[in-house]
Structure 1
Amino acid sequence: MKGAPQRRSQGIIAASLVGLFAIGWTLEHSEQFAGAASALREQTVPSYLLRYGATGEILRSERYVEPEWNDGRYRRTKGAGAPTTASVFTKKRQVGETLLRARTFGPNPGEVPMEIARGEVLPSWPTLAIEVDPASLYDEEVGIIPNWTERWEKPARCALFLDGEKVFEAACGIRLHGNTTRDGDIMRDRGLTWRSYRLYFRSDYGPEQMPQGLLFDSSSGPIRNLVVRGNSFLCSTIAYTIAQKLGTAAPEVRLVNLVLNGERVKDYVATEHISRRQTASRMGHDNFRFYKLRSPGNREKDRVGFAELRNWVRKRKATSTQRQIDRIVDLNAYMRHMFTILHAGASDWGEGAVIMDLNEESPRWRWIHWDMDNAYRYPHGEMLLGLTKAEWAQRFLDHALVPPYKADRYPRAELFQTLMKTEWFPMLFAKLSQDILNHEIPLQFLESVQDHYLQLKELYGTKSGPTRTIRQVLEGRPAIIRADLREKLNLGDPRVVSVTSPASVRLRVDGYAYTSGYSGWHFPDWPVVVEVPERELHEFSHWIVNGERHEGARLELHPYKATQVEAIFEQ
């Protein structure tokens, strides 16, 4: 791979060497081969036999070379320097800088179907099995874990098991994923041995993608880049689930049981990797602008497009109109994206991507969520901005209005600060926030999401993480958000509005359909609209609102006090 060291830690498999004669060695080479065979039998290695000349070339070309991981227990023996190839014996020993291991010469691992012990496959969890040469992970010279500052990719194989059955297998590339979690010093100080990985499906290895509908919903498209993360499963998973419920772009996510080289590691989170390549797979075409924040790999056209967006944001003023903003940025998608961040208290504004679909009649910018592992939890150090945890917990709008250091460098935060100075945006965003809390992510939905993932964790048999804290945060967010909106925007006191109707009768509240009644908190600044759909009109009679009769299929009221609405239908 480009950028990888030239020296490779490799070993030769001690096996029957008879097969080598079949490849047509000349008499000139046979004497050298005899010397190599003798050296193997005697368990001594003249390194020159394997590093130079035709013998070494043939041994390498016939794939009698295999890397092996040195865990530090093996010491260097005599040898001419650090060989690029060396022989393997009946026990582990080191020659030069290379650790050697003996085993019989078997078929190419890529030609053997992957199998793992049945006990490692969980019936209620997707199991993702990865096989990769240990040296590619751990070797001090070529391993991706010791060399975590490099962006190396190594060959691997993976298999996906669903309901105990293997449904997919492919050769792929593997890399380390993450920033903090790839840092060996930090992870060692924390006493953590796991790592997060990326899997790349490329034609160089085998299939270019994992078929859609296996690991994630079919709407996400085939998977070309897959991330398996070992940290903060509950925080990021809940945040992504909420984002998707609100219709804002976020990667698909699923909990997986990771089995690495035959051994179960721990519970992981599998997500799409937010990249141009994976986005093209999801969208079904490549005609779009895609800029990933804090990434050195953006294309020139995408860098130019993002620079234009940033300059446009910086020129916005408090006099900017809704139409002017919506012409460049999908305003509804932007507000939902921002609500997700503010609801979660996700303080890292340098994560995510912006995208513009050029196939649309009027292309506009949209943001994509990414790396929300600090959602619904307290930050550390300077990220707290000198606040106590109690003060941090009361924030909603201030997550964007008074953000952590450097957040103003990112257009979505800067744009929000400007829009909050306009006459029209604050009330528009507040009304959307009310609708989202009441109708799209009510407490019943949030509880069901938590319960679902906690049940999976219990089935896996591991601790559930900071579940009590997350549950308390989620349960407390609606009241905190309403209080913040009321104070900063000078809104009226929110009141409870309840709507009842006969069983199985469908009503609409603020445009949302309900069949089993409704209850939510509403500011009196906007009317609550309750309607009877046309299909129910033939039996509808009237409304009873706090004991008073109201006529008409559409009821509109401002809740200055707690309000009980009952829909009356003829029997």
Structure 2
Amino acid sequence: MSISTTRPSSTQHGGGTTPPSGPRVAGPYVSGPARMAPAPRIPLWAAALFVAALLCAGLLLERTSAVRQYRFVSLDMATKKDALGSPRKRQLLAEMGLPDVHAVAPENTAHTAALLEQARRDADPAMVASGWPVFAVRTDEASLNDPETGINVNHKERGREWERPAAVVYYRDGQERLATGVGLRLHGGGSRDLGISYRVYFRNAYGAPAQPADVFFPGTEGTLKRLVLRKEKTTSPGFINMLGLDIMGMLGAETPRFVPAVFSVNGKDMGLSLVSEHIADAHWKRRLGHDNFLLYSIRKGNDRAEFAALRELYLWIRLMPAPLTMPQAERRMDLRSMCAIIFGAVYMGENDWDQGALLLDKTQPDPRWTNIAWDLDQAFQHLSPTAPLERRPGWKFAMDEAKAVRMRLFLRLWKEAPEFRTWFLRYVVDALNHTLRPSERERMIAPYVAMERQLGREMFDQDMAAAMLAARPVQVMEETVRDLGAPAWSTVHVSSSCPVRIDDMADYTEYTGRYFMGQTVRLHATPQDGKRFSHWEANGVRHSGPDMELTVERATAIRAVFTDI
């Protein structure tokens, strides 16, 4: 018997069976239990094509913004969000093939404690007893040197994925101040392959939250979530980064807080080092007390907003019609901090100076970029107290950065704005004559001499440092005339039996200043106990009154005359 393959218009009743509604099937239809038609055979080429289509669809889906955002959020939840190692975080880490690094997880707590004990054994008792800041860092050897996952081996890699669990013990004034689990990352730019600089992160996930800043930098406020431990790359004359940051700060640039220290990593003594704040968004948020700012890091990756803002500044400097004026530039850039970094690099012979960051605090009534200095490990390496002018780099390293934002603005102002040239040359002579005068240089060097003696190690050639810095006032004046075309210069010597003020600066009894021709030197004398001011003598010519302003046209000798009351 055969049946019709036409589908009935309604369902059969009374125990009848409804024939299949799929494709027409040839052959007899047998009543009774339902019998399925045989599945069609799929050609092998069609199956392969289908699998390939699925793979392509998966690859395309992987590249969509939705999936990328999901993976980013998952990674952020699993690693960056500073919370305890929850099951959800562990699940996300497992999905992404990342290890569970949270030291507070039960299986990791014992390991962190073992690393801390090893770190305590690493700390040199003599260094601890000296009172110096001492950091002993311990981590698994694989975290440093494993070919696949070690941060020293894979020194080009960056980010939270390349942070490894570690432990640090910190001593100051001979006492243990901190012992905790931390996150450890490699730090630096071109020196990353040397394995001499690290960052440590304080996170709840490792067992310690942000630390009070005064634990590391006595007398400072706020908290810190990360520190930089940076070995001094060059040793002559010693304390190079620290002296460089001292000078930059004195000249008017922003600098991170820092202290000299020694540290070890897995028992390896790194020697004389710098411990400093890490200049990053989180740091400035704590320092400013708000997050309404832009922080552009030179030579590093930046977010879209920072990049766009700096690009706008760069284009403004490049395309602004000439002549560019000093007031126009001041509305966009803090010229003092900009010139501090440029002039400071010249003063120290720094050949790798265009680093650091620019900060724009948008809460200010008239926001403008401020310059931040860091990484001065090449300072003093091209200076000699006795080198003749033709063998000194002078402004060369600054001119090499002529296309950088700061130097491009400086050069436009120098060429187009007479008021800037006048202001900057005054800035130079005030820096050399007063800010970095001999007494200030001695005061700056003295703590490092004391620290070296305290530690009992040869770390600082203070005679070399003093000779280099003592030679720089004359050398910089000569170099500025040669390289920038500044006017010729001459000396002004002042002597007095009682302190007198010069250029509205400090009180002097003996003073030798250097001035470009046409600049003025201002002097003010006040009566002293048992003494009455009489008059000034400038190259033998008498000047009455306690105030005198003299235009420098040649070498000048000035004497303040006081008489007994």
Would you call these one fold, judging by a TM-score over 0.5? Answer: yes
Matched, 1:526 2:519: yes
From 458, 472, 479, the counterpart of 1:484: 479
- Residue of structure 1 in register with 2:168 after alignment: 158
- What runs of 5+ residues in structure 2 fail to find an aligned partner? 1-70, 76-99
- 1:239 aligned to 2:233? no
Number of equivalenced pairs: 453
Matched, 1:395 2:393: yes
Q: What secondary structure, in the 3-state scheme, does the structure 1 residue paired with 2:514 have?
A: strand
Question: 1:396, 1:109 → 2: CA distance?
Answer: 53
Q: CA deviation at 1:110?
A: 8.3
For 2:331 and 2:528, the matched residues in 1 are separated by: 37
Matched to 2:562, the amino acid is I
Is contact 1:110–1:157 with CA below 8 Å preserved after alignment?
A: yes
2:46 equivalent in structure 1: none
The alignment status of 1:176 with 2:186, answered yes or no, reads: yes
One-letter code of the match for 1:234? F
> 1:468 Cα deviation (Å)?
6.7
Structure 1 Cα separation of the partners of residues 530 and 501 of structure 2: 13
Matched AA of 1:215: F
Q: Name the CA distance, whole Å, in 2 between partners of 1:458 and 1:323.
A: 49
Note the C-alpha offset of 1:413. Answer: 1.5
What is the match of residue 282 of structure 2?
A: 277
2:413 to 419, 438, 446: 419
Conservation of the 8 A alpha-carbon contact between 1:482 and 1:494: no
State the Cα deviation string for residues 63-118 of structure 1 (Å, max 9, x = none).
Answer: 6689xxxxxxxxxxxxxxxxxxxxxxxxxxxxxxxxxxxxxx88954898974563
- Mark the CA change 1:547 to 1:378 in structure 2 (over 3 Å): closer, same or farther: closer
How far residue 332 of structure 1 moved from its aligned partner, in angstroms, is: 2.2
How many Å separate the matches in 1 of 2:364 and 2:533?
43
* Residue 340 of structure 2 corresponds to residue 336 of structure 1: yes
> Quick one: distance in 1 between partners of 2:229 and 2:133?
12
Selected match of 1:355 from 352, 359, 368: 359
Shift of 1:208: 3.9
Stretch of structure 1 that moved more, 282-291 or 322-331: 282-291
- Aligned-pair distance for 1:130? 2.1
- State the Cα distance separating 1:354 from its structure 2 match: 0.7
1:498 aligns with 2:494: yes
Mapped to 2, the partners of 1:390 and 1:465 lie a distance apart of 25
Residue 513 of structure 1: aligned partner: 506
Gap change, CA 1:543 and 1:317, over 3 Å in 2 = same
What is the CA–CA distance in structure 1 between the aligned matches of 2:132 and 2:190, rounded to whole Å? 27
Instruction: Give 2:214's aligned amino acid.
Output: G
Q: Secondary structure at the match of 1:204?
A: helix
Query: Could you tell me which residue of structure 2 aligns to residue 259 of structure 1?
Result: 264
Q: Closer, same or farther in 2 for the Cα pair 1:473/1:157, shift >3 Å?
A: same
Report whether the alignment pairs 1:216 with 2:225.
Answer: no
Distance 1:62 1:126 in 2: 30
RMSD of the alignment, in Å? 3.6
**One-letter code of the match for 2:543?**
H
Cα distance in structure 1, aligned partners of 2:353 and 2:126: 42
Q: Contact 1:349–1:410 (CA<8 Å) still a contact in 2? A: no
Give percent identity, aligned residues only. Answer: 27
- Give me the TM-score of the superposition, normalised by structure 2: 0.71
| Aligned residue among 120, 128, 131 for 2:138 | 131
In 1: Cα distance, 2:133 partner to 2:373 partner: 24
TM-score for both structures, normalised by structure 1: 0.70
1:364 matches 2:368: yes
Moved more, 133-142 or 461-470: 461-470
Change (3 A) 1:533 1:201: farther
Task: Report the alpha carbon displacement of residue 412 of structure 1 after superposing the two structures with TM.
Answer: 0.6
User: What is the alpha-carbon distance in structure 2 between the residues aligned to residue 322 and residue 315 of structure 1?
Assistant: 16
Q: What is the alpha-carbon distance in structure 2 between the residues aligned to residue 425 and residue 63 of structure 1?
A: 63
Q: How does 1:14-93 map to 2 (within 5 A)?
A: none
Q: What amino acid is the match of 2:490? A: P
Aligned AA (1:415): L
Distance (whole Å) between structure 2 residues aligned to residue 122 and residue 259 of structure 1: 16
Give per-residue Cα distances to partners, 1:477-496, cap 9 Å, x unaligned: 21121113334435243113
Q: Is the 8 A contact 2:389 2:479 kept in 1?
A: no
Q: Distance in 1 between matches of 2:474 and 2:244?
A: 19
